Amino acid sequence: METSNETVKNKVVTGLTKIGMAIKSHAWQDAELQKLTPTQGQVLSLLRSRRNVGLRLSEIAEGLGITSATASDTVRVLVDKKLVQKGKAEDDGRAIAIKMTEKGENKADSIASSPDFLLNALDELSCEEQAIFYQGLTKILRKLQENNEIPLLRMCVTCHFFQENLKPESDKPHYCKLVEEFFGDRNLKIDCPEHIAQTI
């Protein structure tokens, strides 16, 4: 017989699956409106988050959890559509980096506004409930990342600069060595541009 905790866990998984289906459905609809495939939209969204540096093909593949061949084919089509361009990587002149064109940036900005349906749904939660939900979500993402179930995220909790629970009794228990400030769970980042992965 299932314990009540197992029952709740199963319900959470079912709920997350339903949300995932809704996100996928909206992604297809939004991509069609933008005359893109969902993968093309994801590449533009990823490049938008690294707008100033550009990404290598291998980083795009890793960031989206797709094969190198899929990343290459997708970028080729985006180049043909004049949404991205290839150039020299800033940190290595021999390497190729993919960056968005101005047209691609406009398209990526349009795509970025698409999750409004989720933002509206989250309005049903109080500020406290949103903070608790975000804390739990961060823990789930961290575990999935440790198990190599999702692509690498630039999360506070996996960052070289992050020190967890230095002040456990405080509402700002965590410390960032980069900015030299304490902060709380609601300020944990899932995609930080200054992220440097922890070394074991």
Q: Which fold has domain 4-116?
A: Arc Repressor Mutant, subunit A (1.10.10)
Calculate ∠ Cα 109-110-112, nearest 5°. 65
pLDDT in tens, 5-37: 678 889 989 998 998 888 888 777 777 777 898
> Predicted confidence band at 185 (pLDDT cuts at 50, 70, 90)?
confident
The alpha helices in the chain, defined as continuous H runs, are: 4-33, 38-49, 57-64, 68-80, 102-112, 116-122, 127-146
38 three-class SS: helix
pLDDT in tens, 97-152: 899 999 999 888 877 765 678 888 999 999 999 989 998 998 898 898 888 887 77
pTM here is 0.64
Average pLDDT, rounded, for the chain: 85
Domain boundaries, the chain: 4-116, 127-187
Question: Taking a C-beta distance cutoff of 8 angstroms, is the pair 84, 74 a contact?
Answer: no
Task: State the pLDDT at residue 126.
Answer: 94
In terms of Cβ atoms closer than 10 Å to its own Cβ (0-12, 13-18, 19+), residue 1 is: exposed
Percent of the chain scored above 70 by pLDDT?
94
Q: Which of 10-14, 152-156, 161-165 has the lowest mean pLDDT?
A: 152-156
Bridge partners of 181, per DSSP, are 176
